[in-house]
Amino acid sequence: MSILKKALTTTATAAALATALLASAAQAETRRIALVVKSLGNGFFEAAARGAEEAAKELGDVEIIYTGPTTTTAAGQIEVINALIAQRVDAIAISANDTDALVPALKRAMDRGITVISWDSGVAAEGRQMHLNPSSNPLIGNTIVKLAADQLPEGGDVAFLSATTTSTNQNIWIEEATKVLPNYAGINVVVTVYGDDLADKSYRETQGLLQTYPNLKAIIAPTSVGIVAAAQAVTDAGKIGEVNVTGLGLPSEMAGHVKSGASKSFAIWNPVDLGYAATYIAYELTTGKAKAEPGASIPMGRIGTVTLDENGEGAMSDPFTYDASNIDEFSSVF
Amino acid sequence: MSAFLKSREAILALAILVLLAVVASRFPGFVRPGSLANVLTDTSPLIILALGQMVVILTKCIDLSMAATLALCGMVAGLLNMAGLPLPLILLAVVVLGAVLGAINGLLVWKLGIPSIVVTLGTMTIYRGTIFLLTKGQWINAHQMSDGFKAFPRAVFLGLPVMAWIMIAIVIAAWVLVNRTPLGRAFYAVGGNPHAAVYTGISVGKTQFWAFTLSGALAGLVGYLWVARYAVAYVDIASGFELDIVAACVIGGIAIAGGAGSVAGAVMGAIFLGIVKNALPVAGISPFAQMAISGTAILIAIAFNARGQGPKGRIILKQAEHKSPEARA
C-alpha cells in the first residue's frame, strides 16, 4: 500500500514537473509572425519587411515569415493565408488586396488561435483583431492636397491619378482630400482618373490629362506606380515646371523625378516603421501582453503607442514630406 | 475591287475610321496629326507584339508568355544598362535573350508535343518568377538608367520617334517574311492544313519552333523599348498585356484556328485597340465604363470579322469537289 502510494506520488510529481517544464519550454518558444503583403516584389513592402526584421531582433524570440502572392490579387492572398494556417503560425499581419474577400480565410485563422491584424490596407472589422493605419486617412488626404497647394500660391487646376476604381486606400485618401479642399483657396480639382497601378496605363491617362486640361497645374497621384509614370509622362511632354506631379511615392523611385523638377515634393510614411510597428503589435497581442479592444493603447517599441478607436483601428504617425533637400538621404534607404 | 471592299482588312479600316470619327466628335483635339502620331507611337509595342503573336497563331499555336518575356528582357536590359554596357550590345542581348526564351517554348511544343497554351502558361509564370529572382523584387528607376538608354526610343527622326520607326521597319520585315519567304508560307501551310504540310515536306514542329523563336525575339526587343519609354522596370511591368496582344490579333482577323490572317490585319487590330486605349482617357468617359467599352469594341470588331470569315480554299481538282464537299471548309 505504502509502496503504491509512494509510486503514485512520484508519478504525480514527475507529471507536474513535466508539465512545468513543458510550460516553460512553450514560453521560450519563438513566436512566428507572418507578414503578408499585397504582392512580393514591391519596394514598399520589401522595406516593411526590413522593419519587421528589426523589430524581431529587438524582441528576441520572434521569427518573421515574409510572404505574399506574386500579383496583387485577393485569391493569391487567400492561398497564402491557408498555407500559414497549415503551418500554425502565431500571428498574421496582413496588408490586404481586398477588404471583404479575405474575411472568411482570416476568420478561420482566428478560430485556430492565430492573432490576426491588418496594416497598411485594411480588412473588414470581422476579419481581424485590429487594423494599423500608416497614418490617419484625413491626415493623408490633407497632406496630398497641401503638397500641391504649397507649390500653387495663386491656385489652379489639379487632377487626381488614382490606382484602380476599387483600391481601398487610394479611394479613401481622395475622398478625404476632397473634404479639405475648401481650406485651400483657388485649388480646383477637375477630374479623377485611374491608372490601375500599371505603368503604361497611368502614363496614358496622364497624357490624356495633359491634352484634355491644358491649364492643369498639378497632378496628385497617391500611388507609387502612378506618380512615377505621371512624372515620366510630364517629362516626355516637355511640361516640367508647368505641371507639378505630387502625391505618395517612394524616395528611391522618385529621386530622378525630383531632381529633374517633374516632382517638387511628395510624401510617404516610413514603410520600415510600418513593418516594425505591425510586428511589435502582433507580438504584444500574441503574447497576451496587450488586448485589441476599443480604447486600448498598444506599445510599438521606438515609435510610441497606438490607441484604437471604436472600429479597432489606430494610426501610426504623420506622413513625411520628401523634396530636393532630403531625397538623397532617403533614396538609398527605401 | 469589290473583293477588297468585302475583305476583313477593309471592314477593319472602316471600323477604325468610324472609331476616330466618334472620338473626334467628343474631343476634336484627338485627331490632330501630332496627337495621332502620339497614339501610333504609344501603340508601337502592341503592333510589334501582335505581329509576333500572329505568326504563332498562324501555326495553330498561341503564345501567352509574350508579356512575361517582354518583362524579363526589359529587366535584363535595365540591369545591363546599370552595368554600363553600351546600347547596341544591350539591344542585341535582349533580342537574343527573347529569341532563346521563345525557342524554349518552341522546343517544348515541337519535341514534347505539349499544347502551346499549356507550355506558354507555364513559361509565363517561370519568366516572371525569374525577374523576381534576378532582382529580389527591386525596381530599376529613372535615375538609375543612363540618359542615352532612355532617350533612344524617344529621339525624333523625320517627325516620328525612333520607336515608331522601329515598328514600321518590323511591319515591313514581317510582311516580306510571311508573304515572300518559304518560312513565311510554311506558317500558313502548317496552320491551314498540317497533314498537307507534312506531305509537301514541311516539318510542322520545326515551323512552330521558328514561330515561337520569332515572337520571343520581338518580345525581347519590345522589352527594351517598354522599359526605356516608361523609365521604370519592375516584376509586374506589362502584366496582363498578353491578353491585349491576343485581342489585337483576333480583332485583326487572325484566325485562332490557324492558317489565316494578314500582316495588315494584325497591324490594324493593334491600332484599333490602341485608339480605344488612348481615346477613352481623353474622351471624358467614366473609368467605370471604360473596361466595358473596351470589351464591347472588341466583340463588335470580332462580330464584323466573323461575317467575312476567310476566303474559301481554291479547288484544284474539279472531280474531287463532288466527292468530298467538306473539303471546302
A162 and A278 inside one domain: no
C-alpha to C-alpha distance for B220 and B226, rounded to whole angstroms: 10
Write the residue in B38, B143, B238 that is nearest to A256 by C-beta: B143
A162 and A198 inside one domain: yes
B128 touches chain A (CB under 8 A): yes
Contact check, Cβ <8 Å, A229/B235: no
Work out the burial of residue A103: count CB atoms within 10 Å of its CB; fewer than 13 is exposed, 13-18 middle, 19 or more buried.
Answer: middle
C-alpha to C-alpha distance for B276 and B278, rounded to whole angstroms: 6
Element (H, E) at B320: helix B318-323
Confidence (pLDDT) at A44: 80
Which residues of chain B neighbour A165 with C-beta distances below 8 Å?
287-288
Residue B269 lies in a domain: no
**pLDDT above 60 for B309:** no
Q: Are strands A313-315 and A130-133 parallel, antiparallel or unpaired?
A: parallel
Mean pLDDT along residues A72-93: 93
Write the residue in B132, B282, B287 that is nearest to A41 by C-beta: B132
Domain boundary among A239, A268, A297: A268
A128 and A143 inside one domain: no
Residue B129 lies in a domain: yes
pLDDT tens across B22-46, in order? Answer: 888 888 888 888 889 989 999 999 9
Provide the number of CB pairs (under 8 Å) joining chain A to chain B: 99
A307 and A236 inside one domain: no
Q: Which of residues 257-276 of A touch B (CB under 8 A)?
A: 257, 259-260
Which residues of chain B neighbour A257 with C-beta distances below 8 Å?
142-143
Long-range contacts of B144-149 (CB under 8 A, 24+ apart): B144/A256, B144/B78, B144/B82, B145/B78, B145/B81, B145/B82, B145/B227, B145/B228, B145/B231, B146/B81, B148/B87, B149/B77, B149/B81, B149/B87, B149/B90, B149/B228
**pLDDT above 60 for B247:** yes
C-alpha to C-alpha distance for A288 and A273, rounded to whole angstroms: 22
CA-wise closest residue to B78 among B149, B16, B24: B149
B123 touches chain A (CB under 8 A): no
Confidence (pLDDT) at A329: 72
Mean pLDDT along residues A326-333: 77
A236 and A142 inside one domain: yes
Residue B108 lies in a domain: yes
* Residues facing B229 on adjacent strands: none
Contact check, Cβ <8 Å, B143/A212: no
| ipTM, interface predicted TM-score of the complex | 0.74
Mean pLDDT along residues A124-131: 93
Residue A326 lies in a domain: no
Total count of domains within chain A: 2
The torsion defined by the Cα of A12, A14, A19 and A24, in degrees rounded to 10, comes to 150
List for chain A the helix, strand, coil content (%; round to 5).
50, 20, 30
A245 and A231 inside one domain: yes
Confidence (pLDDT) at A1: 47
Question: What separation in angstroms does the CA of B235 have from each of A42, A302, B69, B127?
Answer: 8, 33, 11, 10
A171 and A118 inside one domain: no
B142 touches chain A (CB under 8 A): yes
C-alpha to C-alpha distance for A307 and B236, rounded to whole angstroms: 36
Residue B23 lies in a domain: no
- The CATH number for A212's domain is 3.40.50.2300
Element (H, E) at B74: helix B66-82
Contact check, Cβ <8 Å, B128/A70: yes
Mean pLDDT, chain A, integer: 87
B42 touches chain A (CB under 8 A): yes
Residue of B nearest to A255 (CA): B143
Contact check, Cβ <8 Å, B139/A255: no
Contact check, Cβ <8 Å, A193/B287: yes
A332 touches chain B (CB under 8 A): no
Which residues of chain A neighbour B143 with C-beta distances below 8 Å?
255-257, 259, 331
C-alpha to C-alpha distance for B221 and B166, rounded to whole angstroms: 10
Domain boundary among A253, A268, A283: A268
C-alpha cell recorded at residue B23: 472620338
For the ranges A80-94, A170-184, B163-177, B296-310, which has the lowest average pLDDT? B296-310
C-alpha to C-alpha distance for B273 and B300, rounded to whole angstroms: 12
* Residues facing A193 on adjacent strands: A161
Mean pLDDT, chain B, integer: 87
C-alpha to C-alpha distance for A92 and A81, rounded to whole angstroms: 8
Confidence (pLDDT) at B184: 94
Which residues of chain A neighbour B132 with C-beta distances below 8 Å?
40-41, 70
**pLDDT above 90 for B218:** yes
Q: Chain B closest CA to A76's CA: distance in Å?
A: 14
Residue A275 lies in a domain: yes
Write the residue in A43, A165, A236 that is nearest to B139 by C-beta: A43
A207 touches chain B (CB under 8 A): yes
State the alpha helices, DSSP H only, in chain A.
2-28, 43-59, 74-86, 103-111, 137-150, 168-180, 199-212, 224-236, 251-260, 271-286, 327-331
Q: What are phi and psi of B273, to 5 degrees?
A: -65, -40
Residue of B nearest to A191 (CA): B284
Residue A13 lies in a domain: no
Total count of domains within chain B: 1
A264 and A275 inside one domain: no
Which residues of chain A neighbour B280 with C-beta distances below 8 Å?
208
Which residues of chain B neighbour A41 with C-beta distances below 8 Å?
131-132, 135, 137, 234-236
- Would the pTM of this model clear 0.80, i.e. be above it? no
Residue B89 lies in a domain: yes
Residue A329 lies in a domain: no
Residue A97 lies in a domain: yes
Count of CB atoms situated within 10 Å of the CB of B243: 10
B37 touches chain A (CB under 8 A): no
pLDDT tens across A10-68, in order? Answer: 555 555 545 544 444 445 578 999 999 998 877 788 889 999 999 999 999 999 999 99
Pick the more confident residue, B109 or B313: B109
| The most confident of A321-325, B8-12, B209-213, by mean pLDDT | B209-213
* Residues facing B114 on adjacent strands: none
Its domain, for residue B228, covers: 34-264
Q: Which residues of B45-57 are buried (b: 16+ CB within 10 A; e: fewer)?
A: bbbbbbbbbbbbb
Q: Which of residues 3-32 of B touch A (CB under 8 A)?
A: 27, 29-30
Work out the burial of residue A15: count CB atoms within 10 Å of its CB; fewer than 13 is exposed, 13-18 middle, 19 or more buried.
Answer: exposed
A38 touches chain B (CB under 8 A): no
Q: Chain B closest CA to A309's CA: distance in Å?
A: 33
A277 and A237 inside one domain: no
A214 and A280 inside one domain: no
pLDDT tens across A238-284, in order? Answer: 999 999 999 999 888 899 999 999 999 999 888 888 999 999 999 99
Residue A18 lies in a domain: no
Mutate to test the interface with A, among B156, B236, B280, B290 (most CBs of A within 10 A): B236
Residue A10 lies in a domain: no
Identity at A298, one-letter amino acid code: I
Which residues of chain B neighbour A255 with C-beta distances below 8 Å?
141, 143
Mutate to test the interface with A, among B36, B143, B286 (most CBs of A within 10 A): B143
Q: Chain A closest CA to B303's CA: distance in Å?
A: 27
A141 and A263 inside one domain: yes
C-alpha to C-alpha distance for A294 and A133, rounded to whole angstroms: 15
Residue of B nearest to A40 (CA): B137
Confidence (pLDDT) at B136: 81
Q: What DSSP designation does B233 have?
A: B
CA-wise closest residue to B214 among B87, B88, B57, B41: B57
Its domain, for residue A264, covers: 137-268
Confidence (pLDDT) at B126: 96
Residue A60 lies in a domain: yes
Which residues of chain A neighbour B27 with C-beta distances below 8 Å?
211-212
